[in-house]
Every structure is written in C-alpha cells, then in structure tokens.
Structure 1
Amino acid sequence: MFFKRTKKQPQSDHVTVTLNQVKQAIRQFEEDMPALINRTALILDDKRIDLSRLKRYLGGVPDQNFYMSRETYEVFEEEDKLVPYYLDMVQSAVDNYISDTGQLPLVEDAWLPEVHYRLLATESYLKETPPFPLYITEEEMMLTHRAAHFE
C-alpha cells in the first residue's frame, strides 16, 4: 500500500482585522508594557504601526496597514494614511506657535476652530500645507481632522 506524501503547508500567520481590533490591541500592548514604554513605540517612521509587535493580541499579523499619529494617538486605516502625517506636523507647529505667541492660530470668522495654515507658514512654523482642514479641540489643544467632533 502506498501512502501519498503531502507537503505540510506552512500555516499563514496573516489575519484580517478591523480598526477597532487594532485599537484594542494597542491599548492592551500599552497596559502590558512597563510604564516607560507607551504606544508610540509601535509607530514606524512612515507612521505605520508595527503590527508584528501586536501579533499576540490579534492572533497573527494583519494583512493590511494601519497608521497612528504620534501626537494624538489616533489610529487610521490605509485610505487615511496621510492624516497622521499631517496631524503630527501641524500639531507641532500649533504647539510652537502657542508657546511663542500665547495665541491660537485660527482662521478668523470660521464657524469651527480651523487651523490657519497660511499664518503658520508665513511665520515659518509650517513648511507644508495639508490638503484638508484641521481643527483645534478644547481637549488640551489637540488637533482633529473631523468637523463632526464639534457637533
């Protein structure tokens, strides 16, 4: 009798996850780490999250990319990958402007507290202008890209 030899297929450790699952994994990672290590340790230079470090919380390495703002800790999916890049750049410019002038760099007469990019650029706080508006929230003067935050 002959037995058919089969090659064992390597088990893939890739998984598909939701944004909420990634956020929960990040929170768990931060809880499990020593006090000196926070979630920003997961952020790569291009704002991608190093998902291999979340493998134990997600049951594998996600087959999609997620991104995080170092300044606001907000997590984004692939289609919004530019948002954390601009959030971090503009948050730093806003913080420096407030520190130097004691004022908020806001667009005058805007119905929402929109960041005044031209003012920040003119005063050399901002080198690049985001292609979408950012708003200053009352919570520690953090930025958001969501106008709905103010409804």
Structure 2
Amino acid sequence: MWFKKKKKEAEKFPTKDISLEEVRSAIHEYSKDLPPNIPLKILIKDDLSLDYTLLAPILKAIPAKKYYMSKETYDLFEDKDKHIAQALDQVQRAVDQYIAQKKELPIIDYDPYRKVSFFKLEQLNLIKERLEMDFYITDQEQLVTTIKPK
C-alpha cells in the first residue's frame, strides 16, 4: 500500500533536466529531515541509481537523467560515471575490511597522499582485480576518494 502511494506521488511531478548540483542540494535537504537511525542509503537503489520518488517533492520534478550514488561514500555521479560509484563501493568495502583485520590503513608505504595499495588489498583477497584509477584515503572517517589530496 505504501509503495503505491509513493509511486502515485512521484507521478504528480514532471520530468525535466535537473543538474547534478540541484540533485546534490535536494539530497542534502532530504537528509536534514531523516531520523538519526535512518541512513541516507534509503535513497539509493540496488543498481546505485537514486530513488527519485523520495527526492521529487523537493525537486518539484523527476530528473530526466539518471544519477548514481556510492552507498559507501555517498558521492554522486552522472550516468557516464556510474562505474566510479561502483568502484568506490568496492574499494571502500575492501579498505574497511583491511582496517578491521590489520588495524592499519592499506596505503602505499610512505605515500604522503595516502594512496590505496591494491597490493595490500590483494594479499588479503579483499579485491579480485586492480582498478584502472587511483584511490586515496581521506582524513575524514577514512573514506575512499578518487580525488588526489593537495
């Protein structure tokens, strides 16, 4: 019953072009009203696309483009960068498992940028293959990012 109501509410809104920044702002607005025990992950479908039915009341529309969000880091991406959201989730889970097992960060030794060491993750069988991009661990909650620190 609840799902049908949610779907009908979303049908009230027109489909239109909405920028990444507008979607990011709507997500921020939506998160302000979430109870503390409800994670932001409820906005993210299994394929990492956003559930627009939850954002439509804020956006006053349904985005024409698909946007994707990492379930682990909450980074937002356009359709063309969906693979980055998937990679972030994969690497973040591996990094979290490595930290839990080794009690240290899986970074390249002496790297001032805290670049993730795929070699260290492979040694514990936490990843199956090396990805084509670099990942770094931030100071903030040991989150993985593709942005090289300055």
Q: Same fold per TM (> 0.5)?
A: yes
Does residue 126 (structure 1) correspond to residue 127 (structure 2)? The answer is: yes
- Distance in 2 (CA, whole Å) between partners of 1:32 and 1:111 is 38
Where do 5+ consecutive residues of structure 1 fail to align? 1-10
Pair 1:137–1:33, CA change in 2 (3 A):
closer
User: Could you tell me how far 1:111 is from its partner in structure 2?
Assistant: 4.8
Secondary structure of 1:81's match? Answer: helix
- Could you state the TM-score of these two structures normalised by the residue count of structure 2? 0.84
User: Could you tell me how far 1:42 is from its partner in structure 2?
Assistant: 0.8
RMSD: 1.8
Larger Rg: 1
Structure 1 equivalent of residue 20 of structure 2: 19
Identity %: 32
- Distance in 1 (CA, whole Å) between partners of 2:109 and 2:77 is 30
- Distance in 1 (CA, whole Å) between partners of 2:76 and 2:32 is 17
Paired residue total: 139
- Distance in 2 (CA, whole Å) between partners of 1:27 and 1:142 is 19
Structure 1 equivalent of residue 40 of structure 2: 39
Does residue 79 (structure 1) correspond to residue 80 (structure 2)? The answer is: yes
- Could you state the TM-score of these two structures normalised by the residue count of structure 1? 0.83
- Distance in 1 (CA, whole Å) between partners of 2:34 and 2:120 is 40
Secondary structure of 2:68's match? Answer: strand
Secondary structure of 2:141's match? Answer: coil
Does residue 98 (structure 1) correspond to residue 99 (structure 2)? The answer is: yes
Pair 1:35–1:101, CA change in 2 (3 A):
closer
- Distance in 1 (CA, whole Å) between partners of 2:83 and 2:106 is 22
User: Could you tell me how far 1:56 is from its partner in structure 2?
Assistant: 1.1
Structure 2 equivalent of residue 139 of structure 1: 140
CA contact 1:30–1:37 (8 Å) conserved in 2: no
Structure 2 equivalent of residue 115 of structure 1: 116
Runs of at least 4 residues off by over 6 Å? none
- Relative to structure 2, which stretch is displaced further, 61-70 or 44-53? 44-53
Secondary structure of 1:67's match? Answer: strand
Where do 5+ consecutive residues of structure 2 fail to align? 1-11
CA contact 2:134–2:146 (8 Å) conserved in 1: yes
